Structure 1
Amino acid sequence: MPWNRVVLAAAALLTLGLTACTVPSDNAGGPPAGGNGSKLVGIVTITATDANNARVIAGVTEAAQAAGWTVETVDAAGNADQANSAIRNFTSKNAGMIFDLVFPTSSLGAGLAAAKQAGIPVATWGGGLGTGVVMTTGDGAPFAQPATDQMVTDLGGSGSVLALTYRAGQVCRDREGVFDQVVAQNSGLKVDKGEVSIPGFLQDGSRYATAWLAAHPQGSGPLAIWGCWEDPTLGAISAVKQQGRTDVKTYGINGSKTAIQAVQDGSLTATVYEDGAAEGKTMFETTLQAIQAGPSWQPKTVNVPGILVSADTVAQFVQDHPEALQ
């Protein structure tokens, strides 16, 4: 073959190779697709039955669908191994972005490594920053502070507290840390802790409360039950009601519809409303920004403030946030 034909043939092959490697854009003028051209959001949640997890998923879904993306959700039911498997599965599906709801990044090593190798950005809802994670929400410690401070004020800085914890989730780890710091500053508080499970948190809350109430009869001093989110506290409230106790104050975090109604009827002393839908939207929009920025992006924590809801504020809160009861 003459040398000029060899050059032309090589050039043609090079052009074909470049064309094959280029990801076509199907959203010109709109929000960017994932770095790999995909418009699939893969969500891995620690539990789909919790109201606030559901609100986050709804917020992500609304924002993603408005931008022309599709959303798939996997409920890992509190199991980190299942979460890692789900992330790897979304990686094999070539997702454009992957969201982790609550699982700490320290328990997702295999999944995060697979996503990073595939170039898929990961965002976490309260899971913290880590390998390949472009953003996380600060819904751990900041949300615990108002509820815990209110508890201390209501108890007058002394009394006995049952704290319902969940250390498999980063959010609850962070909230328990705030709780411990506040308690350490109030030597008059005596604390017992109970570790709940997912699933089973309602039953665990009731079981721990039943035993704790037996050891703390009426008249034994100021009493309170605190939950790192309010569902275990709602389980504990069922035990409080069964025993006809009216001397126990109760606190939660997240502000689910059931929790707000419990504040209204007086069975829950206070909770902190977390706008999960707004957080979900923020996760999607921030991850799009990370994709668009490419290598220049710096991982960040994005905070969406919470709102303390108590008997004194619930009427105004419901007026301002009617969506909380939907």
Structure 2
Amino acid sequence: MKTAIFSALVASALVATASPSLADDGKLLGIVSIAANEANNVRYINGAKAAAEELGWDVDVVDAAGSADQANSAIQNFAGRGAVAIIDMVFPYSSIGAGLAAADSAGIPVVTWGGGLGRSVASTNGSGAPIAAPVIDKMIADLNGKGDILALTYRTGEVCRNREVLLDEKLKDYPDINVTKNEVRIPGYLEDGAQYANAWLASRPPGDENLAIWGCWDDPAIGAIGPLRQQGRTDVEVYGVNGNAQALENIRRGHMTATAWEDSYTEGYDMVMLLEKIIDEGDAWEPKAVEVPAILVTQDNIETFLKEHPDAYGN
């Protein structure tokens, strides 16, 4: 009798363990984010959720908190749960090999937001370098070919890594522009931006030198604005990338020079809609990038931009 009861309990436990996969019913979209609360990530996720709702898919978002190990584990977990598709944000494909292998073995397509094309990745968008290009070009022009830049970088994410490479390439022709690089953390990018800016400013008092702070995305640069305002430093230009609401507000108030607005909501929406086609085509699908162009936003065009894109100010 005891054996029968024990066997029944074990069977019940196994059913309970298996139930998440059964509940998913092949319509689970797994999203692995590098920082799920960061504004641009939020916009992308919201766009992806909107498209998934239209398709009748459930969505589960995992915040990997900047850890490639956590991202791999999350992708493997989604593969084990029988997800219909998985989105990687924005870990490079080279960092999620274990996850990609698990998904590939299960026949589940993986697409990336800024993670690049490679291995078994089916598609990508939000690639870092093209979006950052107009901001970097403006910063170099504003410096008139000479001065100092504090570059706030992040090398775990493919997007920021590619933006840093682009910055280096564009500065090769400007030997009189010096660059100090500091890598921020996720989480902790706002605090790091402020700390690195404070240290950098200490050896660069106001004068005739051209100075600029560049974040490989908006938030580290926004973190640097605090020390600038506290010290009354109006001689330093500040540049970001992605165009989140806080960056746009800082541009409007004159605290930030420029950003490149990335329509990440549309990127998320379009990628999920593309996933349906990727699934339908199966082995016939050819991997490709599906980029959405960025818009350069400056103090000169901020009001016009906000009139044309009122939703950008609210997310």
TM-score under structure 2 normalisation? 0.91
Cα 1:92–1:123 shift into 2, 3 Å: same
Alignment of 1:189 with 2:177, yes or no, is yes
User: Which stretches in structure 1 are left out of the alignment for 5+ residues?
Assistant: 1-35
CA contact 1:139–1:304 (8 Å) conserved in 2: no
- Can you list the C-alpha shifts for 1:132-188, whole angstroms capped at 9, x where unaligned? 211011431001110000101111111100000000000001111111111112122
For the residue of structure 2 that corresponds to 1:255, the secondary structure is coil
Alignment of 1:146-157 (within 5 A): 146-157=134-145
1:193/1:221 CA distance change after superposition, 3 Å:
same
- In the TM superposition, residue 318 of structure 1 has moved relative to its aligned partner by 0.1
Equivalent residue, structure 2, for 1:61: 49
What does residue 245 of structure 2 align with?
257
1: CA distance, partners of 2:121 / 2:222: 33
CA RMSD of aligned residues (A): 1.1
- Residues 276-322 of structure 1 show CA distances to partners (whole Å, capped at 9, x for unaligned) of 10000111111211111111110001110000000111011000000
- Among all aligned residue pairs of Structure 1 and Structure 2, give the percentage whose two residues are the same amino acid: 53
Distance 2:125 2:25 in 1: 25
Give the ranges of 4+ consecutive aligned residues of structure 1 lying more than 3 Å apart after TM superposition: none
**Structure 2 unaligned spans of 5+:** 1-23
Aligned AA for 1:83? A
What does 1:94-133 align with in structure 2 at a 5 Å threshold? 94-133=82-121
The residue aligned with 1:303 is 291
Secondary structure in structure 2 of the residue aligned to 1:285: helix
In the alignment, is the contact (CA less than 8 A) between 1:164 and 1:233 conserved in 2?
yes
Counterpart residue type for residue 194 of structure 1: N
Deviation at 1:220, TM superposition (A): 4.8
Is 1:315–2:303 an aligned residue pair? yes
2: CA distance between counterparts of 1:302 and 1:308?
Answer: 19
Distance in 2, matches of 1:105 and 1:150, equals 30
For residue 163 of structure 1, the aligned residue among 148, 151, 162 is 151
1:287: which partner in 2?
275
Aligned amino acid, residue 267 of structure 1: H
Amino acid at match of 1:266: G
SS at match of 1:186: coil
Secondary structure of residue in 1 paired with 2:234: coil
Asked which structure has the greater CA Rg, the reply is: 1
- C-alpha distance in 2 between matches for 1:253 and 1:138: 12
| Counterpart Cα distance in 1 of 2:161 and 2:128 | 8
Contact 1:116/1:131 (CA < 8 Å) preserved in 2?
Answer: no
Deviations 1:203-226 (A, max 9, x none): 110010000000111005000000
1:228 to 207, 216, 222: 216
Where 1:38 maps in the other structure, the secondary structure is coil
